[in-house]
Structure 1
């Protein structure tokens, strides 16, 4: 499930860049189509992330020492998805999205650090 999750969010990042550039070039029709594909990818991210959350949370019961970090990663992951959505909505309306880009970077760093270096199945835990 980890590979599906990573593939889904990498795809979302690629589609974010493509859709954002299409909106900025004034090609709103193609940008809107790719934006809809990103929204479908959110479902895949949420499904695989929810499955990983359930696996991690139940694997360590009754004493899972990283449960707090797992919950923070879940919230930061939702924050990443909502900031991607707001970036694309602002771009479609030709409005500045600097604050959402900043939020996206902060949340994405939190998710990467927790996912790859702190929680199980990352680089640190092997």
Structure 2
């Protein structure tokens, strides 16, 4: 069981893919249930990402740290978009920022030695 959490990026990738899908569903049609499920997946993404960071940060400390910071900021912006949407406020600027930061986070993640090497 330990190897599932510490040695594989598959669980982390699965959780953030589901998180991204749930986020765009929640942005498109806000519901409390989707928002609560999304918050659960935020926690799962953070836990799996932290476990991967603890295990592999020695490979490239700065890049792993930047990726972790970008991931936390992405989750924060995603949550801010949904809270503002729930309150009926303008979300377009925050949504653009969240999507741009998501792209940066994905780029950093794929650039990592443990990531999928699309940019070789």
Task: Give TM-score, length-normalised by structure 2.
Answer: 0.85
Q: Which runs of no fewer than 5 residues in structure 1 stay unpaired?
A: 24-30
Output one character per residue of 1:96-118: Cα deviation in whole Å (capped at 9) or x when no partner. Answer: 112211221221121111111x2
**Which residue of 97, 100, 103 maps to 1:106?**
100
The match for 2:28 is 21
Distance 2:78 2:34 in 1: 13
The match for 2:88 is 94
Residue 90 of structure 1 and its aligned partner are, at CA, apart by: 0.9
Output one character per residue of 1:4-61: Cα deviation in whole Å (capped at 9) or x when no partner. Answer: 11111111111111112223xxxxxxx111100100111100110000101112xx3x
Residue 120 of structure 1 and its aligned partner are, at CA, apart by: 1.4
The match for 2:16 is 9
Residue 123 of structure 1 and its aligned partner are, at CA, apart by: 2.7
The match for 1:84 is 78
Structure with higher Rg: it is 1
2:81 paired with 1:74: no
The match for 1:27 is none
Paired residues in the alignment total 112
Task: Give TM-score, length-normalised by structure 1.
Answer: 0.81
**Which residue of 105, 114, 118 maps to 1:121?**
114
